[in-house]
Structure 1
Amino acid sequence: MFEIIPLFSLLILLFGFSYMILALYLDTSFCNLKLRMMKGLTFRTWMFLLTGTILMGLSSCSKETVDNIGRDTALNIIRSNKWFDVVKTTTVAGQADVRVTLVGEGENMEFKSNGYAYVYGTEGETSSYSYSMPTSKKMVFDNVEYDIQENIIQTVAKFTLVNTAGNITTKIEFRRR
């Protein structure tokens, strides 16, 4: 259904413009008769019809299309630079937090378009984590689904992933320098 509405809008738009061109540039009695019949259609009315047609075409975008635009933008921001400080914190109710440094001093992480985030070490060693981003607010990192806390489109210096399963909360903080 969403594909039919823009096509219909385009046909109406083309018909309207071709009729206007025909009526304005051909000086025949038939066109003069049509112009007299269309005397009530002013420039304002044509602009209203044109605006309505454009709005109908733009409003036919599905929510999925809009969400994918946000997801693609967030992925581009994540992939655009290196991440230098990545810390994973696991919190269990009633116990001390466990902090694991995924990217330490002298290392960096790069998210590649092949679905892996590579950690490049100081001596050339490499490790990797799989990732995917089903929506702009969720990321699957190392086969665990996390919620993204920030709006990545607005903040490019850091983002935080949070996963809560029962009384265990896992948080991964990614920071740029």
Structure 2
Amino acid sequence: ASNIMKELKAVYPNITRATYVNGDEYEFLLTPVGIDEGETVEDRLDIVKNCIDFLKRLGKTPKIAVLAEGRKDDFGRGPEVSQSITDSEKLTELIKENTDEEVENYYILVEKAIKDGCNVIVAPNGRVGNIIFRTLVLLNSWPSYGAITFGMDKIYIDTSRDQSIEGYVRSLTLAYELDNF
């Protein structure tokens, strides 16, 4: 996907992605998921805005969970953890300032965010998002419909090269439904 995303960004410089995970007990967009995506707070804010717009187009009310690489009381347990916690708090405030949507900082508690029905889950960066995706979708078989690309006038859904045949079919089905929405 990195080569395709590079080509797409040349034409559509503001594109972002989020993986759509949907099962019987959960439905959410997980972002960022590319290992080189969502590096800054501002990058993640742009992604969140696109997720909000997408969910609203589908008639859904966004409920946003911001994640960090530790709990709030883990601050000081290393520079990367502390920076991630600081960034998650900044992102949570920026989302509150720039949208009217419900947002909460769940820090590292992704399981609580899912149990609470959050439908936008924002990882601290693309590497962490990719690990969450691989754990839920590829290891535990949670159904993913692929990574929806926002910020362009075409429909492009990226899938993991490790996805199951059923996962590829779900992605094609979603692309068809979005094209006919």
Query: Do they superpose with TM above 0.5?
Result: no
TM-score by length of 1: 0.26
More strand by share: 1
Which fold has the larger relative contact order, with Cα–Cα distance below 8 Å and residues 6 or more apart in sequence? 2
More helix by share: 2
